[in-house]
Structure 1
Amino acid sequence: MAKPKPQRIRDPIHNLIEFGTDQFEETLWRLIQTPPFQRLRRIKQLGFSEFVFPGATHTRFAHSIGVFHMARLLMGVIRRYVDAHQQQFKDHQARHALAAALLHDVGHGMFSHAFEAIGKEFKWPMARHEEVSQRLIRDSEITHVLDKSFGKGFSENVADLIAQDTPSDLYGSIVSSQFDADRLDYMQRDRMMTGVQSSSVDPTWLLANLEVAEVSTGADETGSGSIETLVLGPKAVQTAESYVLALFHLYPNVYLHKTTRGAEMLFQALIKRLVSLNAAGHVEKTGLESPSRNS
């Protein structure tokens, strides 16, 4: 019987992303094939930014796979630290974090964050992608794939990890921290696909100089505790400065560009009008089909 071959994806940012033949990565590959994840092929990462940057047509699908790739690299940093300090690597927590990295954006709605803004105004909980992501992980085809492979409750743990505002441990820091996998992917991906040259980051040197340390979780000198997380070592001070500046420059140059913001305002006004017409019972004026009485 022939050995199964790893599944490989060519990515414009990370080049070759490979999913191995072990049970865990085969399961993650099956997650990618589920309808909720495949839907991300139709969700643009930067919403209306393509009106300014014609190349910015990349999707949440590509970004999510890139985040998993970065998360796996960050997990390698953690494993090396744990081995060097004669500690036990926690495979179960690592798997939760890697699955959460892959699935963190599965609940994004149309036009990404532009839809969330209008949802916030109308207090639509299902417009928050974090909320939808959690629900899909807890109750959908994704749940079946995860729990069948790793046991009942695995999906709940992954959803709980995504729900956290701040990481509760070192493994969770790859999902949510200053150097999390999400940020490390979108900074590179958005810069390349928009063509912006002022937000360069050196991921190779950054990863080579990541360390693990205890940092305070408080907002002032007294603090409220500490947590073990990923930090940059002293050899990467300039890289850290470039990283912060790169993120700072992306906002005025890309995310808050006036033309993009204008398109978002028009979209939000359109949705508001549709909602008001529907509430007034004038569905025929929306140009949309009336819902079936049997549906």
Structure 2
Amino acid sequence: MKIFNDPVHGHIELHPLLVKITDTPQFQRLRHIKQLGGTYLVYPGASHNRFEHSIGVAYLAGCLVKVLHDNQPELKITKQDFLCVQIAGLCHDLGHGPLSHVFDGLFIPEAIKEKQLKGLSDDKIQEKKEWKHEQMSVKMFNKIVESLKAKNEDVLKEHELYDKDVTFITELIKGAEKSDVKWPYKGRDEDKSFLYEIVANKQNNIDVDRWDYFTRDCHHLGIRNSFDHQRLLKFARVCKVNGRNHICFRDKEADNVYDMFRTRYTLHRQAYQHKICNIIEDMFTKALIKADRDLHKDKPEDMFTLSEAIHNAEEYTKLTDEIFGQILSSDSDKLKESQDILKKIINRELPKFVGEARLMEENKSKMSPEQRSTKTQMQEKLTETWKKAVKKYKPTDSAVSLKADDFSVYVVDLGHGTKGKKPFDNIYFYSKWNNKEASCIEKYQLSSFLPETFTEELVRVYCDKPNENRVEEADKCFKEWRESNFGL
């Protein structure tokens, strides 16, 4: 075993096979990818990377499997199961691009729009639309397996891991979708369905990935974390619910589980969706879009562009946050626009925040079903009404004129988990007197202080060409717009 001194989990041990995986180029690149993307430019402490987070997830995955194994020997968890779940935790984020979610959540969708304008074939567009970083994580993991075999190091077989186990690991990385039909996975039989809920739990969003990043991000951001993952870990147990084995928790841990979802909301509200973080990440995205064709002077036509690198694991391995330094130091004229954007970020020449307001249900009810169907649709509708409000507004300072095109409107989603669902959907609890059966928590068992709704949308307006007087007038215009129900 190799010992790692982790800032949030203390001294942790890693199996030699996991250490072999960490010593590969695919994993080492995670040292150069910020966990929180542009948040680092607002919170100076948020300098941690995907590398340490991945090690933390592997560790917690091992802790959870050990608790289940020790408390319930009848589950017949093998040492191969234990290793596979840990490897999946270690490799689940291999597919993240520069600045983490900036790449897959912002850049790739924008690149799709750009390619559509240029007439890219429909199959290529569809392929990009369906792309998630988990898919690249699987490709990168398969690349690691190939590279270890190429070195005549069949370390997987040394630990009795075979093709079925590799399939199991890739299924764990992708995460199992909620399904009531016949068991669709090949890595393990249905009696071990609970193992699919440890690393990427798409059933109810309780998994060790979240446990680690909640703890780690709060530590580095300086934000209080009321959720106790170590306590919840001790009360984890497998019960059969609706004919399938699920990880369940003691009923008295319901408040602790709610604290987990509340911590998620707090992190998004104060850090991930911070008003300045959002605009910085938007600027980073624009810089990547401008650099999508040329990263090097006299670049060959057949070289992969940034957005095309998602189709090739070798090219993708070269993509880290260092790309921004490459852009800034390049002498290619074609990168000048991208360089200008990055220099504005460095010099803090950012759009100025004008105002923010919550979009209430009565506001959304005035939109058509199509207009409120997605965040993008709502954003387009609100941009339209904001522009009308700006044209209608008469500044109190006659020397100031407001132009609608000088502003940007954003809609930000905030919530406790999956949009449109309550946090306790699909979470099962057992009682002190019966730890063999579990069910969803009853409403009377929950605190009456819990909110009725668990998601909200914020409307934000920024001035792209700011000066003090213009922003002051824009603030007055924003208040009038808000009081008029956003002109809806």
* TM-score, normalising length: structure 1: 0.81
For residues 59-80 of structure 1, give each alpha carbon's deviation from its aligned partner in whole angstroms, at most 9, with x where no partner exists. Answer: 0000000001111111112202
For residues 113-144 of structure 1, give each alpha carbon's deviation from its aligned partner in whole angstroms, at most 9, with x where no partner exists. Answer: 00112113325479732111111112335662
CA shift at 1:148, angstroms? 4.9
Q: Is the 8 A contact 1:126 1:132 kept in 2?
A: no
Distance change >3 Å, CA 205–CA 160, structure 1 → 2: closer
CA shift at 1:29, angstroms? 0.9
Counterpart CA distance in 2 for 1:146 and 1:45 is 29
Residue in 2 that maps onto 1:214: 240
Counterpart of 2:17 in 1: which secondary structure? Answer: helix
Residue in 1 that maps onto 2:266: 249
For residues 133-160 of structure 1, give each alpha carbon's deviation from its aligned partner in whole angstroms, at most 9, with x where no partner exists. Answer: 1111123356626545445414333123
2:171 is aligned, of 144, 160, 164, to 160
Residue 205 (structure 1) aligned with residue 231 (structure 2): yes
Q: Which protein is richer in helix relative to its size?
A: 1
Residue in 2 that maps onto 1:172: 196
Residue in 2 that maps onto 1:9: 4
Counterpart of 2:283 in 1: which secondary structure? Answer: helix
In structure 2, runs of 5+ residues without a counterpart are: 113-124, 149-153, 179-184, 186-192, 304-488
Counterpart of 1:16 in 2: which secondary structure? Answer: strand
- The AA in structure 2 aligned to 1:196 is I
Residue 50 (structure 1) aligned with residue 40 (structure 2): yes
Q: Is the 8 A contact 2:176 2:196 kept in 1?
A: no
Counterpart CA distance in 1 for 2:253 and 2:172 is 29
Residue in 2 that maps onto 1:218: none
- The AA in structure 2 aligned to 1:13 is V
Q: How does 1:139-154 map to 2 (within 5 A)?
A: 139-140=143-144, 144=148, 147-149=156-158, 150-153=160-163, 154=165
Distance change >3 Å, CA 136–CA 160, structure 1 → 2: same
Q: How many residues align?
A: 264
Identity fraction in percent = 28
- The AA in structure 2 aligned to 1:205 is R
Counterpart CA distance in 2 for 1:98 and 1:26 is 12
Counterpart of 1:79 in 2: which secondary structure? Answer: helix
Counterpart CA distance in 2 for 1:87 and 1:210 is 13
CA shift at 1:252, angstroms? 1.0
Residue 186 (structure 1) aligned with residue 213 (structure 2): yes
Residue 106 (structure 1) aligned with residue 94 (structure 2): yes
Distance change >3 Å, CA 87–CA 162, structure 1 → 2: closer
CA shift at 1:87, angstroms? 4.1
Residue in 2 that maps onto 1:271: 288
Q: Higher mean Cα deviation, 155-164 or 59-68?
A: 155-164
Residue in 2 that maps onto 1:133: 137
Counterpart of 2:227 in 1: which secondary structure? Answer: coil
Counterpart CA distance in 2 for 1:90 and 1:72 is 12
Counterpart of 1:44 in 2: which secondary structure? Answer: coil
Q: Is the 8 A contact 1:11 1:17 kept in 2?
A: yes
- The AA in structure 2 aligned to 1:62 is E
Counterpart CA distance in 2 for 1:146 and 1:163 is 23
Q: Is the 8 A contact 1:206 1:239 kept in 2?
A: yes
Counterpart of 2:291 in 1: which secondary structure? Answer: helix
Counterpart CA distance in 2 for 1:294 and 1:229 is 48
For residues 162-219 of structure 1, give each alpha carbon's deviation from its aligned partner in whole angstroms, at most 9, with x where no partner exists. Answer: 123437611121112233110110000011101112x32112221122222234xxxx
2:279 is aligned, of 262, 265, 268, to 262
Counterpart CA distance in 1 for 2:238 and 2:135 is 30
What is the aligned-residue RMSD (CA, Å)? 2.5
Counterpart of 2:29 in 1: which secondary structure? Answer: helix
* TM-score, normalising length: structure 2: 0.50
Counterpart CA distance in 1 for 2:213 and 2:16 is 25
- The AA in structure 2 aligned to 1:179 is I
Q: Is the 8 A contact 2:172 2:196 kept in 1?
A: yes
Counterpart CA distance in 2 for 1:172 and 1:231 is 13
Counterpart CA distance in 2 for 1:92 and 1:62 is 24
Distance change >3 Å, CA 237–CA 126, structure 1 → 2: closer
Distance change >3 Å, CA 126–CA 290, structure 1 → 2: farther
Counterpart of 2:72 in 1: which secondary structure? Answer: helix
Residue 118 (structure 1) aligned with residue 119 (structure 2): no
Counterpart CA distance in 2 for 1:80 and 1:203 is 18
Q: Is the 8 A contact 2:27 2:94 kept in 1?
A: yes
In structure 1, runs of 5+ residues without a counterpart are: 1-5, 20-24, 216-224
- The AA in structure 2 aligned to 1:46 is L
Q: Is the 8 A contact 2:62 2:82 kept in 1?
A: no
For residues 245-284 of structure 1, give each alpha carbon's deviation from its aligned partner in whole angstroms, at most 9, with x where no partner exists. Answer: 1122111111111111101111111222233xx3xxxx5x
Distance change >3 Å, CA 226–CA 111, structure 1 → 2: farther
